[in-house]
């Protein structure tokens, strides 16, 4: 009898350990998500003041909002900028993570500190700094002008390129660290074995290193693409009226126009699209650690 009681207690232990996390998710994720959905199907209160709405379960709000070109354009730009920033971050982060994990030696802790050092500075301040870097008087434009590659009145800020550069920089550590973690766990004797079998360096990388690092690549791209899609600070500080992302629209609709249903529709649509894209991407990537 005592033995059965002990077995039953052990079987309940994992569920008891899950309770705090599940309660946290219920309070801070599920409840706000349901509230957002309920808010998206409200309509203005007849005769009410601006910002006053009543619950009418009008799901046609989704059709009305998503049929407007300005909102679709903001959604499209958000995903395009996030995709370009993710690709740029991957191209920068993979060689960086590779060098730190397999070539840095005793300097590895120092390089890791340098990777995460930007987090000790405010996200907003880091983004504002890119105004100076990419502005007409900044070092980037100055160097291009010195090489006679651009005219004297050339400026990168404000532009789409500046927004993508800001997104790439701000989320680069999220790409670098997961790739580094995958490469750091790799047994380098596998590369030596491939070379002993007369494999070239490129073939060894393609057949051994890259597949082993794929969980880190998948995790890094997700950690970069998802927050970049909903970001609005970079578009607001480094862009202009033609580079508005969906985060900027949601911000203005919530806090300026008090158009809560429209903002909720855009927020819910953004989350739904990202969730679908992530599911397809992870399934396609086929990494056992993430599927």
Domain 67-285 CATH superfamily: MetI-like (1.10.3720.10)
Query: What is the reported pLDDT for 8?
Result: 56
pLDDT at 149 over 90: no
pTM of the model: 0.88
- pLDDT (tens digit, 9 = 90+) per residue, 163-188? 999 999 999 999 999 999 999 999 88
Q: How many CA atoms lie within 13 A of 56 on its CB side?
A: 13
Residue of 232, 192, 217 lying closest to 285 (CA atoms): 217
Residues above pLDDT 90, as percent of the chain: 63
Gyration radius (Cα) of the chain, Å: 24
Q: Bridge-partner residues for 54, per DSSP?
A: 43
User: Please, what is the angle between helix 210-230 and helix 260-285, to 10°?
Assistant: 170
- Other CB atoms within 10 Å distance of the CB of residue 235: 28
Q: Is 148 left (phi over 0), alpha (psi -120 to 50) or beta?
A: left
pLDDT at 11 over 50: yes
Residue ranges covered by each domain of the chain: 67-285
**Exposed/middle/buried for residue 177 (C-beta within 10 Å: 0-12, 13-18, 19+):** buried
- pLDDT (tens digit, 9 = 90+) per residue, 235-249? 999 999 899 999 999
Average model confidence (pLDDT) for the chain? 89
pLDDT at 6 over 80: no
């Amino acid at each position: 009898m005592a033995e059965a009681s002990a077995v039953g207690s052990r079987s309940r232990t994992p569920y008891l350990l899950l309770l705090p996390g599940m309660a946290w998710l219920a309070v801070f994720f599920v409840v706000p998500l349901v509230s957002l959905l309920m808010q998206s199907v409200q309509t203005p209160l007849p005769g009410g003041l601006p910002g006053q709405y009543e619950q009418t379960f009008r799901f046609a709000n989704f059709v009305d909002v998503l049929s407007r070109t300005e909102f679709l354009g903001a959604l499209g730009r958000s995903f395009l900028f996030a995709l370009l920033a993710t690709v740029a971050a991957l191209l920068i982060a993979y060689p960086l993570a590779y060098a730190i994990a397999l070539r840095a030696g005793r300097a590895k802790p120092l390089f890791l500190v340098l990777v995460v050092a930007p987090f000790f500075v405010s996200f907003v301040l880091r983004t504002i700094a890119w105004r100076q870097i990419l502005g007409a008087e900044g070092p980037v434009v100055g160097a291009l002008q010195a090489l006679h590659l651009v005219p004297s009145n050339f400026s990168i800020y404000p532009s789409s390129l500046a927004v993508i550069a800001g997104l790439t920089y701000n989320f680069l550590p999220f790409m670098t660290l997961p790739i580094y973690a995958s490469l750091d766990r790799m047994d380098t004797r596998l590369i030596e074995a491939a070379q002993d079998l007369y494999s070239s360096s490129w073939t060894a990388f393609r057949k051994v290193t890259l597949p082993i690092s794929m969980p880190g690549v998948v995790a890094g791209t997700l950690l970069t693409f998802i927050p970049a899609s909903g970001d609005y600070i970079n578009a607001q500080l480094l862009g202009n009226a033609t580079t508005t992302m969906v985060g900027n629209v949601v911000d203005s609709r919530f806090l300026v126009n008090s158009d809560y249903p429209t903002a909720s529709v855009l927020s819910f649509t953004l989350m739904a699209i990202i969730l679908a894209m992530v599911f397809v991407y992870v399934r396609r990537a086929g990494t056992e650690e993430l599927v």
